Structure 1
Amino acid sequence: MATTRIMPLHTGKGRTESQAVSDIIDYVANPQKTDNGRLVTGFACDSRVADAEFLLSKREYISTTGRVRGADDVLAYHVRQSFVPGEITPEEANRLGVEFAKRFTKGNHAFVVCTHIDKSHIHNHIIWNAVNLNCDRKFRNFWGSTRAVRRLNDTICVENGYSIVEDPKPHGKSYNKWLGDRVKPSHREQLRVMIDQALEQKPADFDGLLKLLAEMGCEVSRRGQAIRLKAPGWKNVARMDEKLGQGYSEDEIRAV
């Protein structure tokens, strides 16, 4: 599964808040792209009037907190997911989009998941309200959010047996073409997901992390200064260094 970064939604030039939110909701929920709206799912909101509900919650937020921002205020957030052609059904793609949104927002924000089937590859558009369900806090984009989105998506994909994409635009190929060439997760992709799953269990220290990996079926060994890992079903080992991916070297994981 490939994802883009989190895209904040502002009012933009010449648009009111109402127009900004309704424009993006109208686009992602387009009946011609979502099988006449069958592939649109709302959480804690009615997808048919989500734009109005998002703005109502913002007014309640201002009334509750007294915090008012200018034209740069973020109204909602947008993430796009794409899937390997022929690998997933539209219904399953929509379900995974809902799972991602619930886990990423911890169920604290209303959202809409719209699955588009008008292209060769099925993809989701996920829009969540910047204001939480209690109307007393807002979602704040954070440093490293792109990596966090990617890690959660990779985890969900592997948990459900679907391919993940290591690099959206490698070697000059268009994203869509390269996406179609992917069949199964690479060894390093599986190791990254296993590490993420181990970290989610909050091990007390680095040795605790390695123990969790071993319990998950990963072979862990050390050669010289390098830790070597081998996921189940693979013959070759991969070192826990910068080649495993940004954020997955031994030093970076120890820091976590």
Structure 2
Amino acid sequence: MGYIQNPDKTEQCHLVGSVNCLPDTAYEQMLDTKSLYGKSGKRQGYHVIISFPPEESVTPEQAKIVAEGFIGDILNGEYETVYGIHTDKEHTHVHIIWNSVNLVTGQKYNSPKGNWKHHLQPATNKYCEMFGLEIMPAEYAKEPVNMSKEKWEYEQSFKDYILDNARLCLSYAGSLEHFIFLMKRMGYEFKGRDYLSVRIPGMKLYHRLDKLDTIFSKEELPAILKYGYGQYYRRYNTKSVLYVKRANLTPLQKKYYAKMYRLGLIEKKCYQYRSADMAKEIRRMQFLQEQYLFICKNDISSVTDLMRLHDEAKQTLAEVDSQQKEIYKERYVRKRKCKTVEDFKEYQIWNSESANELDNLKAEKKRAKSDMHMAM
């Protein structure tokens, strides 16, 4: 507790905060809570470190918002908590310690297997994304033990492709089993007991279909399978349609066709190309198309033009970062100066205007990053 409040690391304790306790007496208050509920044994507390890469140049104000957002989402204001923002290293980082005993209910904090992956890391990512900061993929925690951000983003880029294939299979499926059969025929792999979690062969991440589109949720999917998927069909109006009547099937052909349909052999022909297996090639073709359009849009005719565009995007990124930091810094100063209701009202008006400006800067930053990626 003393380490995370070290004055030399927290700008003379100006970057120390707490919830449900005072920083100076937090340890004693936590012990009192344990004693009150008779929970003095076993695990005493939890210590989490949120660290930002040096190149991000995260300000203390940004780190404070991330820390307080994390504490609010994870602990719901029910645990005695102390945090300290350390700025003594090249990279800004936050230490968070909370009592293992709930101040309100007296229950011990429950940290089941996968808690970091499913709850803590997503909460951190949520607030990092607010500032356009890099995030650590929550999925890295299992298969493999570690996954690079580039690899995670690459596999995440296939979500729309998976969703399109799932919608196609749903439009033909007559039951949940039939839908799974069609998806497997396209090459997708399903994950054990998880509800409709699929992945592309050779990749590591599974994607839950109900997270990609609510039509695959347990509430909506049964109705769609029962009454049809017609509301999602693409409809085209074609003029001068030429109808060609096919020859009637003989009784033997009809009988054989019905048997093939019941066995699922008819669908097997439709899905013999295994779209999932070709996902990487299709994504590569899409990226090449994006690069071609990028070259045409920016009238690039040489490597020199490409390098110039890359440098311009890099400069834009640096300028946007600088503007964002100035806004965050001013926000922190203005908020600390609020002493009356009128001051707070003025701060809210300014904060609303600055939020719009930040949104525009984030969009500009996203475009600059995209241009740099294309020009590499």
Instruction: Please give the range of the TM-score, normalised by the shorter of the 2 chains.
Output: 0.5 to 0.7
Distance 1:80 1:32 in 2: 18
Shift of 1:106: 2.3
Contact 1:110 1:128 in 2 (8 A): yes
Q: Which runs of 5+ in 1 are unaligned?
A: 1-24, 63-67, 169-177, 193-212, 228-238
Shift of 1:157: 1.7
Structure showing greater radius of gyration is 2
Q: Tell me what 2:25 maps to.
A: 49
Residues 171-210 of structure 1 aligned to structure 2 (within 5 Å)? 187-188=153-154
Higher RCO structure (Cα 8 Å, ≥6 apart): 1
Q: Tell me what 1:161 maps to.
A: 132
> Which digits, 9 at most, give the CA deviation of each residue in 1:5-39, with x for residues without a partner?
xxxxxxxxxxxxxxxxxxxx101111111111011
Distance 1:99 1:244 in 2: 30
Distance 2:155 2:88 in 1: 29
Relative to structure 1, the CA distance from residue 226 to residue 189 in structure 2 (aligned partners, 3 Å threshold; closer, same or farther) is closer
Q: Tell me what 2:44 maps to.
A: 75
Q: SS in structure 1 opposite 2:164? A: strand
Shift of 1:151: 2.2
Shift of 1:188: 4.8
Q: Tell me what 1:221 maps to.
A: 164
Is 1:61 the counterpart of 2:14? The answer is no
Is 1:122 the counterpart of 2:92? The answer is yes
User: Which ranges of 4 or more aligned residues in structure 1 deviate by more than 4 Å?
Assistant: 188-192, 239-242, 250-256
Distance 2:157 2:9 in 1: 35
Greater fraction strand: 1
Residue 187 of structure 1 aligns with an amino acid whose one-letter code is: E
- TM, length-normalised to structure 2: 0.40
Is 1:143 the counterpart of 2:113? The answer is yes
Greater fraction helix: 2
Q: SS in structure 2 opposite 1:125? A: strand
> Which digits, 9 at most, give the CA deviation of each residue in 1:104-138, with x for residues without a partner?
12222121111111111111110011111225211
Contact 2:49 2:96 in 1 (8 A): yes
Q: SS in structure 2 opposite 1:222? A: helix
Residues 16-35 of structure 1 aligned to structure 2 (within 5 Å)? 25-35=1-11
Q: Tell me what 2:355 maps to.
A: none
Distance 2:126 2:154 in 1: 13
Q: SS in structure 1 opposite 2:96? A: strand
Contact 1:163 1:185 in 2 (8 A): no
Contact 2:34 2:40 in 1 (8 A): no
Contact 1:29 1:40 in 2 (8 A): yes
Relative to structure 1, the CA distance from residue 154 to residue 243 in structure 2 (aligned partners, 3 Å threshold; closer, same or farther) is farther
Identity across matched positions, percent: 27
Is 1:134 the counterpart of 2:104? The answer is yes
Q: Which runs of 5+ in 2 are unaligned?
A: 142-147, 167-185, 190-197, 219-376
Contact 1:188 1:244 in 2 (8 A): no
Shift of 1:142: 0.9
Distance 2:85 2:125 in 1: 18
- TM, length-normalised to structure 1: 0.57
